[in-house]
Amino acid sequence: MWTRAELKDRAKNDLRPYYWYGVLVCFIAGILGAGSSGGGVSISTGSRASENSYSIGSIRDGRHAAIFLLILGIFLVVFIIAVAVGVFVSNVVAVGKLRYFMDSAVMQQSAGIGRIFFAFGGGNYLNVVKTMFLKGLFEGLWSLLLVIPGIYKHYEYYMIPYLLADNPEMDRHEAFRLSKEMMDGNKFNTFVLELSFIGWYLLGMLLCCIGGIFVNPYYEMTFVELYWVLRDQVMGPRPSEAMDQNVYADAYYREI
């Protein structure tokens, strides 16, 4: 059985040789929308703000209707673009970010910042896009029922990005099945592990609200360690850490 203290200690040890590269990787991934919430869109149409709020009853002439449809169209275009970027770019970069930390921990040095884009090549791009899209879709559909089922499914599918980072060619059915098996009995403990980082992020907010970026590598590596523990329990141990790290990296995590 894993403990929070053990995972965090391992994460700290793994990060020492490449911590600052990890900060940069998390920053780049954040800019690309991987692992961060999207910002809102603000549209201003003039100084008379009271005329910007439209109800159905207030749209009585063609000019108001045209303005209303224009604003609606802009929002729809922005929404479609945001969804497309999330599905075809952000999700793939999120998987690549995890791959970076996996490879770097194995090699005991930075695996190269470009590793976060590994899933865009090698013939597995569409598989990663499809599996990550379905993960988000199923979580959203379950959330439409009630909040609790959505949260439950979120943690049930928690390991799917890690499985794809480890095995980008993995079939989506297998990824969902393994994630469910790995998270069986570990959902609440994973939630508590997430909560244990709140203090670090609150402290980071005191540093002009940017200190959180220095916590991100620690957070990411801790959950990579959790993935490895759960994977060992379900799929068997990974290759021996006694092997030469560079040989292991070449054999197990091929450079794309």
Q: How confident is the model at residue 208, as a pLDDT?
A: 66
Residue pLDDT, tens place only, 1-51: 899 999 999 999 999 999 999 999 999 999 998 864 333 333 333 333 344
pLDDT at res. 114:
94
**Segments making up each domain of the chain, as ranges:** 4-36+59-235
Averaged over 135-148, what is the pLDDT? 91
Q: Tens of pLDDT along 153-163? A: 999 999 999 99
> DSSP string spanning 183-234?
HTTTHHHHHHHHHTTHHHHHHHHTTTT-GGGGTHHHHHHHHHHHHHHHHHHH
Backbone angles phi and psi of 43, in degrees to 5: -125, 125
**Six token digits for residue 147:** 């909040």
CA quadruple 151, 3, 97, 35: dihedral positive or negative? positive
Is the pLDDT at 54 greater than 60? The verdict is no
What was the pLDDT predicted at 204?
Answer: 74
Mean pLDDT of 84-110: 95
